[in-house]
Structure 1
Amino acid sequence: MDAQKIIFLFIFLVPLSSATSIVDFCVADFNYPGGPAGYACRNPANLTADDFVYSGLGVAGNTSNIFNASAFLAVDITFPALNGLGLSMARLDFGVGGVIPIHAHRVSEVILVIEGTIIAGFIGSDNTPYYKTLNKGDIMIFPQSLLHFQVNVGDSPALAFVSLNSASPGFQTTSFALGANDLPTDIIQKITLLDAAQIRQLKTVFGGTN
Protein backbone atom coordinates (compact mmCIF):
# COMPACT_ATOMS: atom_id res chain seq x y z
CA MET A 1 0.00 0.00 0.00
CA ASP A 2 1.50 3.33 -1.03
CA ALA A 3 1.87 6.36 1.24
CA GLN A 4 -1.07 8.19 -0.32
CA LYS A 5 -3.45 5.33 0.50
CA ILE A 6 -2.08 5.06 4.02
CA ILE A 7 -2.73 8.77 4.61
CA PHE A 8 -6.24 8.41 3.13
CA LEU A 9 -7.09 5.51 5.44
CA PHE A 10 -5.69 7.32 8.47
CA ILE A 11 -7.88 10.35 7.79
CA PHE A 12 -11.09 8.67 6.69
CA LEU A 13 -11.22 5.43 8.68
CA VAL A 14 -11.42 7.23 12.02
CA PRO A 15 -14.00 5.75 14.37
CA LEU A 16 -17.30 7.30 13.34
CA SER A 17 -18.44 7.60 16.94
CA SER A 18 -15.96 10.46 17.24
CA ALA A 19 -15.95 11.55 13.57
CA THR A 20 -18.71 14.09 14.09
CA SER A 21 -16.37 16.14 16.27
CA ILE A 22 -13.66 16.08 13.58
CA VAL A 23 -15.53 16.36 10.27
CA ASP A 24 -18.90 17.70 9.21
CA PHE A 25 -20.00 14.48 7.49
CA CYS A 26 -18.75 11.13 6.27
CA VAL A 27 -20.44 9.97 3.07
CA ALA A 28 -19.81 6.22 2.89
CA ASP A 29 -17.10 4.89 0.61
CA PHE A 30 -18.03 1.32 -0.32
CA ASN A 31 -14.58 0.65 -1.76
CA TYR A 32 -13.60 -0.24 1.80
CA PRO A 33 -15.32 -2.71 4.14
CA GLY A 34 -17.70 -1.47 6.77
CA GLY A 35 -17.24 -2.14 10.46
CA PRO A 36 -18.97 -1.52 13.80
CA ALA A 37 -18.29 2.22 13.42
CA GLY A 38 -19.62 2.36 9.86
CA TYR A 39 -17.86 2.91 6.56
CA ALA A 40 -14.84 4.91 5.49
CA CYS A 41 -15.49 8.43 4.22
CA ARG A 42 -15.43 9.55 0.63
CA ASN A 43 -13.17 12.47 -0.19
CA PRO A 44 -15.26 15.62 0.46
CA ALA A 45 -13.62 17.29 -2.55
CA ASN A 46 -15.50 14.87 -4.80
CA LEU A 47 -18.96 15.42 -3.28
CA THR A 48 -21.85 17.53 -4.53
CA ALA A 49 -25.26 18.46 -3.13
CA ASP A 50 -26.70 15.42 -4.91
CA ASP A 51 -24.83 13.18 -2.48
CA PHE A 52 -26.96 14.55 0.35
CA VAL A 53 -30.35 14.06 -1.33
CA TYR A 54 -32.30 10.81 -1.52
CA SER A 55 -35.56 10.41 -3.44
CA GLY A 56 -36.22 6.73 -2.73
CA LEU A 57 -38.98 7.35 -0.19
CA GLY A 58 -41.15 9.29 -2.61
CA VAL A 59 -42.50 6.24 -4.42
CA ALA A 60 -44.99 3.75 -3.00
CA GLY A 61 -43.54 0.33 -2.27
CA ASN A 62 -44.72 -2.94 -3.75
CA THR A 63 -47.24 -4.52 -1.37
CA SER A 64 -47.84 -7.63 -3.50
CA ASN A 65 -46.38 -10.06 -0.99
CA ILE A 66 -47.50 -12.36 1.78
CA PHE A 67 -47.70 -9.47 4.27
CA ASN A 68 -49.45 -7.05 1.87
CA ALA A 69 -47.01 -4.37 2.98
CA SER A 70 -43.69 -2.82 2.06
CA ALA A 71 -40.79 -1.28 3.98
CA PHE A 72 -38.39 0.82 1.89
CA LEU A 73 -35.28 1.86 3.81
CA ALA A 74 -33.07 4.94 3.65
CA VAL A 75 -30.04 3.61 5.54
CA ASP A 76 -26.30 3.91 5.01
CA ILE A 77 -26.14 1.30 2.23
CA THR A 78 -28.95 2.97 0.25
CA PHE A 79 -28.24 6.59 1.23
CA PRO A 80 -24.47 6.80 1.91
CA ALA A 81 -24.67 10.34 3.32
CA LEU A 82 -26.27 8.90 6.47
CA ASN A 83 -23.03 7.11 7.33
CA GLY A 84 -21.89 8.07 10.83
CA LEU A 85 -24.76 10.46 11.51
CA GLY A 86 -26.80 8.18 13.78
CA LEU A 87 -30.13 8.29 11.97
CA SER A 88 -32.09 6.67 9.16
CA MET A 89 -35.64 6.53 7.80
CA ALA A 90 -38.04 4.14 6.14
CA ARG A 91 -41.31 4.33 4.26
CA LEU A 92 -44.02 1.83 5.20
CA ASP A 93 -46.81 1.13 2.71
CA PHE A 94 -49.75 -1.03 3.76
CA GLY A 95 -52.41 -2.55 1.57
CA VAL A 96 -55.79 -3.19 3.19
CA GLY A 97 -55.05 -5.63 6.01
CA GLY A 98 -51.31 -5.21 5.46
CA VAL A 99 -48.85 -6.07 8.21
CA ILE A 100 -45.27 -5.19 9.08
CA PRO A 101 -44.65 -8.42 11.01
CA ILE A 102 -43.18 -8.56 14.48
CA HIS A 103 -39.50 -7.66 14.33
CA ALA A 104 -36.73 -5.86 16.18
CA HIS A 105 -33.89 -3.39 15.58
CA ARG A 106 -30.79 -2.77 17.65
CA VAL A 107 -31.90 0.88 18.01
CA SER A 108 -35.02 2.88 18.88
CA GLU A 109 -37.64 3.96 16.35
CA VAL A 110 -40.42 6.52 16.03
CA ILE A 111 -43.32 6.11 13.59
CA LEU A 112 -45.44 8.88 12.05
CA VAL A 113 -48.73 7.91 10.36
CA ILE A 114 -49.33 9.87 7.15
CA GLU A 115 -52.51 8.21 5.88
CA GLY A 116 -54.86 5.54 7.15
CA THR A 117 -55.38 3.78 10.46
CA ILE A 118 -52.97 1.25 11.91
CA ILE A 119 -52.49 -0.62 15.14
CA ALA A 120 -48.88 -0.34 16.26
CA GLY A 121 -47.25 -1.80 19.31
CA PHE A 122 -44.28 -3.36 21.03
CA ILE A 123 -43.67 -5.97 23.70
CA GLY A 124 -41.61 -5.03 26.74
CA SER A 125 -38.84 -7.21 28.11
CA ASP A 126 -41.26 -8.26 30.88
CA ASN A 127 -43.66 -9.43 28.12
CA THR A 128 -46.10 -6.57 28.67
CA PRO A 129 -47.69 -5.51 25.35
CA TYR A 130 -48.09 -1.82 24.54
CA TYR A 131 -50.27 -1.18 21.49
CA LYS A 132 -52.53 1.56 20.21
CA THR A 133 -54.65 2.48 17.21
CA LEU A 134 -52.86 5.30 15.37
CA ASN A 135 -54.42 7.72 12.92
CA LYS A 136 -53.06 10.37 10.58
CA GLY A 137 -50.58 12.59 12.41
CA ASP A 138 -50.06 10.23 15.36
CA ILE A 139 -46.56 9.13 16.38
CA MET A 140 -45.39 6.27 18.58
CA ILE A 141 -42.04 5.18 19.99
CA PHE A 142 -40.61 1.65 19.79
CA PRO A 143 -37.75 1.33 22.30
CA GLN A 144 -34.41 -0.17 21.36
CA SER A 145 -34.28 -3.94 20.64
CA LEU A 146 -37.90 -4.63 21.61
CA LEU A 147 -40.19 -6.64 19.33
CA HIS A 148 -42.73 -4.42 17.57
CA PHE A 149 -45.26 -4.47 14.73
CA GLN A 150 -47.77 -2.49 12.67
CA VAL A 151 -51.11 -3.63 11.19
CA ASN A 152 -53.40 -1.72 8.84
CA VAL A 153 -56.87 -1.96 10.40
CA GLY A 154 -58.54 0.60 8.14
CA ASP A 155 -60.57 0.03 4.98
CA SER A 156 -58.04 1.75 2.70
CA PRO A 157 -54.25 1.64 2.17
CA ALA A 158 -52.10 3.24 4.84
CA LEU A 159 -48.78 5.08 4.77
CA ALA A 160 -46.29 5.78 7.54
CA PHE A 161 -42.71 6.94 7.87
CA VAL A 162 -40.31 5.83 10.58
CA SER A 163 -37.03 7.25 11.82
CA LEU A 164 -34.37 5.24 13.63
CA ASN A 165 -31.40 6.47 15.64
CA SER A 166 -28.76 4.66 13.61
CA ALA A 167 -27.61 4.73 10.00
CA SER A 168 -27.49 0.92 10.19
CA PRO A 169 -30.37 -0.09 12.49
CA GLY A 170 -30.54 -3.79 11.64
CA PHE A 171 -33.81 -5.62 11.02
CA GLN A 172 -34.69 -9.09 12.30
CA THR A 173 -38.16 -10.45 11.59
CA THR A 174 -39.29 -13.41 13.68
CA SER A 175 -41.02 -15.16 10.78
CA PHE A 176 -37.90 -15.00 8.61
CA ALA A 177 -35.63 -15.93 11.51
CA LEU A 178 -37.56 -19.17 11.97
CA GLY A 179 -38.51 -19.99 8.38
CA ALA A 180 -35.75 -18.74 6.10
CA ASN A 181 -32.82 -20.87 7.23
CA ASP A 182 -31.69 -24.48 7.64
CA LEU A 183 -32.19 -24.75 11.40
CA PRO A 184 -33.63 -28.27 11.82
CA THR A 185 -37.38 -28.50 12.27
CA ASP A 186 -37.09 -30.60 15.43
CA ILE A 187 -34.95 -27.92 17.08
CA ILE A 188 -37.43 -25.19 16.14
CA GLN A 189 -40.19 -27.35 17.64
CA LYS A 190 -38.32 -27.50 20.94
CA ILE A 191 -37.52 -23.80 21.15
CA THR A 192 -40.91 -22.49 19.97
CA LEU A 193 -43.50 -25.20 20.80
CA LEU A 194 -44.79 -24.91 17.22
CA ASP A 195 -45.76 -28.21 15.63
CA ALA A 196 -43.84 -29.67 12.70
CA ALA A 197 -46.57 -28.84 10.16
CA GLN A 198 -46.52 -25.15 11.13
CA ILE A 199 -42.74 -25.05 10.89
CA ARG A 200 -42.73 -26.76 7.49
CA GLN A 201 -45.29 -24.21 6.28
CA LEU A 202 -43.02 -21.37 7.43
CA LYS A 203 -40.04 -22.92 5.70
CA THR A 204 -42.06 -23.39 2.50
CA VAL A 205 -43.16 -19.75 2.50
CA PHE A 206 -39.78 -18.23 3.39
CA GLY A 207 -37.41 -20.63 1.63
CA GLY A 208 -35.98 -22.50 4.58
CA THR A 209 -34.81 -26.11 4.52
CA ASN A 210 -34.12 -28.99 6.88
Structure 2
Amino acid sequence: MSPQLTVLFVLIYLHCHIALGSDPDPVQDFCIPNLKVGAILTARLDILPCKNATEVVPEDFVFSGIRLPGNFSDTGLASIPVSPAVFPGLNTLGMSFARVDLKVGGINPPHFHPRATEIVHVVQGQVYSGFVDSANRVFAKVIEGGEVMVFPRGLVHFQMNVGKSPATIFGSFNSQNPGMQRIPSAIFGSGIDDELLEKAFGLSSREIGMMRRRFFPKKVKS
Protein backbone atom coordinates (compact mmCIF):
# COMPACT_ATOMS: atom_id res chain seq x y z
CA MET A 1 0.00 0.00 0.00
CA SER A 2 1.34 3.43 -0.94
CA PRO A 3 2.11 6.01 1.77
CA GLN A 4 -0.65 8.25 0.35
CA LEU A 5 -3.29 5.53 0.73
CA THR A 6 -2.06 4.73 4.24
CA VAL A 7 -2.50 8.37 5.27
CA LEU A 8 -5.95 8.44 3.64
CA PHE A 9 -7.14 5.36 5.55
CA VAL A 10 -5.79 6.77 8.82
CA LEU A 11 -7.68 10.02 8.27
CA ILE A 12 -10.89 8.13 7.44
CA TYR A 13 -10.48 6.03 10.59
CA LEU A 14 -9.95 9.10 12.77
CA HIS A 15 -12.96 10.83 11.22
CA CYS A 16 -15.19 7.83 11.90
CA HIS A 17 -13.83 7.49 15.42
CA ILE A 18 -14.66 11.12 16.17
CA ALA A 19 -18.13 10.84 14.61
CA LEU A 20 -18.95 7.91 16.88
CA GLY A 21 -17.89 9.82 19.99
CA SER A 22 -21.17 11.69 20.49
CA ASP A 23 -24.45 10.46 21.93
CA PRO A 24 -25.98 7.71 19.76
CA ASP A 25 -28.96 8.55 17.59
CA PRO A 26 -32.30 7.42 19.07
CA VAL A 27 -33.91 4.39 17.45
CA GLN A 28 -37.42 5.26 18.63
CA ASP A 29 -39.52 8.35 19.30
CA PHE A 30 -38.67 8.44 23.01
CA CYS A 31 -37.66 6.23 25.91
CA ILE A 32 -39.03 7.16 29.31
CA PRO A 33 -37.05 4.94 31.72
CA ASN A 34 -39.06 2.38 33.61
CA LEU A 35 -38.12 3.24 37.20
CA LYS A 36 -40.29 0.43 38.57
CA VAL A 37 -37.24 -1.81 38.28
CA GLY A 38 -35.83 0.01 41.33
CA ALA A 39 -32.72 1.33 39.62
CA ILE A 40 -30.79 4.33 40.93
CA LEU A 41 -31.08 7.43 38.74
CA THR A 42 -27.89 8.32 36.89
CA ALA A 43 -27.09 10.34 33.77
CA ARG A 44 -26.99 7.07 31.80
CA LEU A 45 -30.66 6.19 32.03
CA ASP A 46 -30.46 4.74 28.53
CA ILE A 47 -29.30 1.48 30.11
CA LEU A 48 -32.74 1.02 31.70
CA PRO A 49 -35.74 -0.54 29.94
CA CYS A 50 -38.28 1.92 28.57
CA LYS A 51 -41.81 2.36 29.83
CA ASN A 52 -44.48 0.75 27.75
CA ALA A 53 -45.67 3.44 25.32
CA THR A 54 -49.21 3.08 26.66
CA GLU A 55 -48.00 4.15 30.12
CA VAL A 56 -46.30 7.35 28.93
CA VAL A 57 -48.13 10.59 29.86
CA PRO A 58 -47.63 14.29 28.97
CA GLU A 59 -46.10 14.94 32.41
CA ASP A 60 -43.14 12.75 31.42
CA PHE A 61 -42.10 15.51 29.00
CA VAL A 62 -42.53 18.50 31.35
CA PHE A 63 -40.01 19.77 33.92
CA SER A 64 -40.78 22.56 36.40
CA GLY A 65 -37.56 22.61 38.39
CA ILE A 66 -36.01 25.73 36.84
CA ARG A 67 -38.73 28.23 37.65
CA LEU A 68 -36.63 29.72 40.46
CA PRO A 69 -32.86 30.17 40.97
CA GLY A 70 -30.87 27.51 42.78
CA ASN A 71 -28.62 28.04 45.80
CA PHE A 72 -25.89 30.64 45.33
CA SER A 73 -22.20 29.81 45.84
CA ASP A 74 -19.46 32.10 47.16
CA THR A 75 -18.80 33.24 43.59
CA GLY A 76 -22.35 34.56 43.19
CA LEU A 77 -23.37 31.62 40.99
CA ALA A 78 -26.51 29.48 41.19
CA SER A 79 -26.73 26.61 38.73
CA ILE A 80 -29.46 24.03 38.18
CA PRO A 81 -28.26 21.33 35.77
CA VAL A 82 -31.02 19.31 34.15
CA SER A 83 -30.19 15.86 32.78
CA PRO A 84 -32.19 12.63 32.49
CA ALA A 85 -31.24 11.98 36.11
CA VAL A 86 -33.83 14.60 37.16
CA PHE A 87 -35.88 14.88 33.95
CA PRO A 88 -36.29 11.35 32.52
CA GLY A 89 -38.10 12.72 29.45
CA LEU A 90 -34.68 13.74 28.08
CA ASN A 91 -33.48 10.15 28.02
CA THR A 92 -31.91 9.06 24.68
CA LEU A 93 -32.65 12.45 23.08
CA GLY A 94 -29.00 13.54 23.17
CA MET A 95 -29.48 16.77 25.06
CA SER A 96 -29.53 18.40 28.50
CA PHE A 97 -29.70 21.95 29.80
CA ALA A 98 -29.10 24.22 32.78
CA ARG A 99 -30.39 27.39 34.39
CA VAL A 100 -27.62 29.67 35.64
CA ASP A 101 -28.17 32.79 37.75
CA LEU A 102 -25.46 35.32 38.58
CA LYS A 103 -25.57 37.99 41.24
CA VAL A 104 -24.15 41.39 40.35
CA GLY A 105 -20.43 40.76 39.90
CA GLY A 106 -20.96 37.01 40.16
CA ILE A 107 -18.92 34.63 38.02
CA ASN A 108 -19.16 31.20 36.47
CA PRO A 109 -15.47 30.17 36.81
CA PRO A 110 -13.54 28.81 33.80
CA HIS A 111 -14.66 25.26 33.06
CA PHE A 112 -15.31 22.93 30.15
CA HIS A 113 -17.62 20.11 29.09
CA PRO A 114 -15.68 17.17 27.61
CA ARG A 115 -18.67 15.62 25.86
CA ALA A 116 -20.77 18.52 24.59
CA THR A 117 -21.00 21.79 22.74
CA GLU A 118 -22.99 24.38 24.70
CA ILE A 119 -25.14 27.25 23.52
CA VAL A 120 -26.17 29.87 26.07
CA HIS A 121 -29.11 32.27 25.89
CA VAL A 122 -29.11 35.32 28.15
CA VAL A 123 -32.64 35.59 29.50
CA GLN A 124 -31.92 38.82 31.36
CA GLY A 125 -28.91 40.91 32.34
CA GLN A 126 -25.51 41.75 30.89
CA VAL A 127 -22.94 38.96 30.90
CA TYR A 128 -19.27 39.01 29.91
CA SER A 129 -19.09 35.64 28.20
CA GLY A 130 -16.42 33.81 26.26
CA PHE A 131 -14.15 30.86 25.59
CA VAL A 132 -10.49 30.10 24.89
CA ASP A 133 -9.48 28.11 21.82
CA SER A 134 -6.59 25.63 21.51
CA ALA A 135 -4.29 28.47 20.38
CA ASN A 136 -5.05 30.32 23.64
CA ARG A 137 -7.05 33.02 21.89
CA VAL A 138 -9.93 34.48 23.90
CA PHE A 139 -13.26 35.03 22.16
CA ALA A 140 -15.33 37.09 24.59
CA LYS A 141 -17.79 39.96 24.67
CA VAL A 142 -20.68 41.29 26.72
CA ILE A 143 -23.96 39.70 25.66
CA GLU A 144 -27.36 40.90 26.79
CA GLY A 145 -30.92 39.66 27.15
CA GLY A 146 -32.09 37.92 23.97
CA GLU A 147 -28.58 37.16 22.66
CA VAL A 148 -26.92 33.76 22.42
CA MET A 149 -23.34 32.49 22.31
CA VAL A 150 -21.93 29.07 21.50
CA PHE A 151 -19.03 27.34 23.29
CA PRO A 152 -17.38 24.62 21.15
CA ARG A 153 -17.08 21.19 22.69
CA GLY A 154 -14.22 20.73 25.14
CA LEU A 155 -13.07 24.37 25.17
CA VAL A 156 -12.68 26.37 28.40
CA HIS A 157 -15.40 28.99 28.83
CA PHE A 158 -16.66 31.43 31.47
CA GLN A 159 -19.24 34.09 32.37
CA MET A 160 -19.38 37.15 34.62
CA ASN A 161 -22.32 39.43 35.41
CA VAL A 162 -21.12 42.93 34.49
CA GLY A 163 -24.55 44.55 34.74
CA LYS A 164 -26.23 46.37 37.59
CA SER A 165 -28.89 43.72 38.20
CA PRO A 166 -29.00 39.92 38.52
CA ALA A 167 -28.51 37.92 35.32
CA THR A 168 -30.17 34.69 34.22
CA ILE A 169 -28.75 32.36 31.55
CA PHE A 170 -30.19 29.25 29.92
CA GLY A 171 -27.60 26.79 28.62
CA SER A 172 -28.29 23.84 26.33
CA PHE A 173 -25.98 20.88 25.57
CA ASN A 174 -25.94 18.39 22.71
CA SER A 175 -25.38 15.50 25.10
CA GLN A 176 -27.51 14.05 27.88
CA ASN A 177 -24.33 13.68 29.95
CA PRO A 178 -21.98 16.56 28.98
CA GLY A 179 -19.71 16.30 32.02
CA MET A 180 -18.00 19.31 33.57
CA GLN A 181 -14.58 20.15 34.96
CA ARG A 182 -13.97 23.47 36.69
CA ILE A 183 -10.38 24.51 36.09
CA PRO A 184 -9.52 25.73 39.63
CA SER A 185 -10.99 22.65 41.29
CA ALA A 186 -9.43 20.28 38.75
CA ILE A 187 -5.97 21.72 39.40
CA PHE A 188 -5.95 22.50 43.11
CA GLY A 189 -8.65 20.13 44.32
CA SER A 190 -7.61 16.93 42.59
CA GLY A 191 -4.54 15.86 44.58
CA ILE A 192 -1.88 16.70 41.97
CA ASP A 193 1.58 16.63 43.55
CA ASP A 194 2.48 19.97 45.21
CA GLU A 195 5.97 20.10 43.69
CA LEU A 196 4.54 19.85 40.18
CA LEU A 197 2.08 22.69 40.86
CA GLU A 198 4.81 24.84 42.39
CA LYS A 199 6.94 24.45 39.24
CA ALA A 200 4.02 24.87 36.86
CA PHE A 201 2.65 28.08 38.39
CA GLY A 202 5.69 29.57 40.10
CA LEU A 203 3.95 29.49 43.47
CA SER A 204 5.43 28.71 46.86
CA SER A 205 4.38 25.67 48.88
CA ARG A 206 2.51 28.03 51.22
CA GLU A 207 0.57 29.55 48.31
CA ILE A 208 -0.23 26.09 46.93
CA GLY A 209 -1.50 25.13 50.39
CA MET A 210 -3.79 28.17 50.45
CA MET A 211 -5.20 27.26 47.05
CA ARG A 212 -5.75 23.65 48.12
CA ARG A 213 -7.65 24.68 51.24
CA ARG A 214 -9.95 26.74 49.04
CA PHE A 215 -10.68 24.10 46.40
CA PHE A 216 -9.95 20.68 47.92
CA PRO A 217 -13.17 18.94 49.06
CA LYS A 218 -13.51 18.89 52.83
CA LYS A 219 -13.45 15.47 54.39
CA VAL A 220 -16.64 14.51 56.19
CA LYS A 221 -16.08 13.05 59.64
CA SER A 222 -17.72 9.67 60.16
Q: With structure 2 as the length reference, what TM-score do the two structures score?
A: 0.77
The alignment covers a number of residue pairs equal to: 191
Provide the residue aligned with 1:171 in structure 2.
180
Cα 1:37–1:76 shift into 2, 3 Å? closer
> What is the Cα deviation at residue 109 of structure 1?
0.6
Deviations 1:7-48 (A, max 9, x none): xxxxxxxxx724x23x21122456279797943233234432
Structure 1 residues 55 and 34: CA distance shift in structure 2, 3 A: closer
Determine if contact 2:198/2:205 at 8 Å carries over to the other structure: yes
2:108 maps to amino acid:
I
Give the direction of change, closer, same or farther, for the CA distance of 1:159–1:41 in structure 2 (3 Å limit).
same
Alignment correspondent of 2:101: 93
Structure 1 vs Structure 2: percent identity of aligned residues? 32
Equivalent pair of 2:43/2:177 in contact (CA under 8 Å): no
CA distance in structure 2 between the partners assigned to 1:93 and 1:202 by the alignment:
25
1:187 matched to which residue of 2?
196
Cα pair distance change 1:193/1:39, threshold 3 Å: farther
Q: For the residues of structure 2 that align with 1:175 and 1:96, how far apart are their CA atoms? A: 21
CA, structure 1 residues 24+39, in 2 after alignment: closer, same or farther (shift >3 Å)?
same
What's the Cα RMSD here? 2.3
- Please show how residues 57-206 of structure 1 align to structure 2 within 5 Å: 57-63=66-72, 65-105=73-113, 106-206=115-215
Unpaired segments ≥5 residues, structure 2: 1-22
Measured after TM superposition, the shift of residue 102 of structure 1 is 0.3
Structure number with greater Rg is 2
Distance 1:196 1:108 in 2: 37
- 1:184 CA displacement: 2.6
1:99 maps to amino acid:
I
The 2-side partners of 1:208 and 1:61 are apart by: 21
Counterpart CA distance in 1 for 2:44 and 2:169 is: 29
Unpaired runs of 5+ residues, structure 1, are: 1-15
CA contact (8 A) 1:26 1:40 kept: no
